[in-house]
Amino acid sequence: MNKKPFVTHEQLQEIVKKYPTPFHLYDEKGIRENAKAVKEAFAWNPGFREYFAVKATPNPFLMEILQEYDCGMDCSSLTELMLSNALGITGEHIMFSSNDTPAEEFAYANKLGATINLDDITHIEFLEKIIGQLPKTMSLRYNPGGVYQLSNGIMDNPGDSKYGLTKDQLFEAYGILKEKGVERFGLHAFLVSNTVTNDYYPTLARTLFELVVEIKEKLGIKINFINLSGGVGIAYKPEETPNDIRVIGAGVQKVYEEILVPKGLGDVSIYTEMGRFMMGPYGCLVTEAIHEKHTYKEYIGVDACAANLMRPAIYGAYHHITVSGKEHAPEDHKYDVVGSLCENCDKFAIDRMLPEIEKGDLLVIHDTGAHGFSMGYNYNGRLRSAEVLLKEDGSTKLIRRAETPKDYFATFDCFDILKGMDYSL
CA 141/CA 189 separation, integer angstroms = 5
Is 231 found in the same domain as 139?
yes
Q: Per residue in 351-403, pLDDT tens? A: 999 999 999 999 999 999 999 999 999 999 999 999 999 999 999 999 999 99
- Domains contained in the chain, number: 2
> Based on the domain organization, do 347 and 202 belong to the same domain?
no
Q: Is a pLDDT exceeding 90 seen at residue 166?
A: yes
Of 280, 295, 324, which one is at a domain's C-terminal end?
280
Task: Please tell me whether residues 43 and 174 are part of one structural domain.
Answer: yes
Q: Where are the alpha helices (DSSP H) in 195-241?
A: 200-219
- The angle that helices 200-219 and 167-179 make with each other, rounded to 10 degrees, is 50
How far is 352 from 310, CA to CA, in rounded Å? 18
Domain-embedded: residue 91: yes
**pLDDT (tens digit per residue) in 325-344:** 999 999 999 999 999 999 99
Is the same domain home to 70 and 161?
Answer: yes
Structural domain that includes position 385? 281-412
Task: Report the mean per-residue pLDDT for the chain.
Answer: 94
Do the domain assignments include residue 288?
yes
What digits encode the pLDDT tens for the residues 200-245? 999 999 999 999 999 999 999 999 999 999 999 999 999 999 999 9
Question: 247 and 293 share a domain?
Answer: no
Residue 7 lies in a domain: no
Q: 102 and 153: one domain?
A: yes
Residues 146 and 37 in one domain: yes
Q: 236, 257, 280: which is the final residue of a domain?
A: 280
Q: Phi first, then psi: what are they for 212, rounded to 5°?
A: -65, -40
- Tell me the C-alpha distance between 186 and 348, whole Å: 40
Strands of 109-168 (E only): list them.
Answer: 115-118, 137-141, 148-150, 153-156
Residue 12 falls inside a structural domain = no
In whole angstroms, give the CA distance from residue 222 to residue 204: 19
Last-in-domain residue among 280, 298, 331: 280
274 and 385 inside one domain? no
> pLDDT tens digits for 251-292?
999 999 999 999 999 999 999 999 999 999 999 999 999 999
Tell me: do 382 and 324 sit in the same domain.
yes
256 with 271: CB under 8 angstroms? Answer: no
Neighbours of 307 (CB within 10 A): 24
DSSP, residue by residue, 316-341 = -----EEETT-TTS---EEEEEE-SS
Cα separation, 397 vs 395, in Å, equals 7
Confidence band, pLDDT 50/70/90 cuts, at residue 23: very high
The enclosing domain of 361 has a CATH number of: 2.40.37.10
* Residue 419 falls inside a structural domain: no
Round to whole Å and give the CA distance between 203 and 258: 13
- 13 domain residue, yes or no: no
**175 shares a domain with 158:** yes
Q: Is the pLDDT of residue 82 over 70?
A: yes
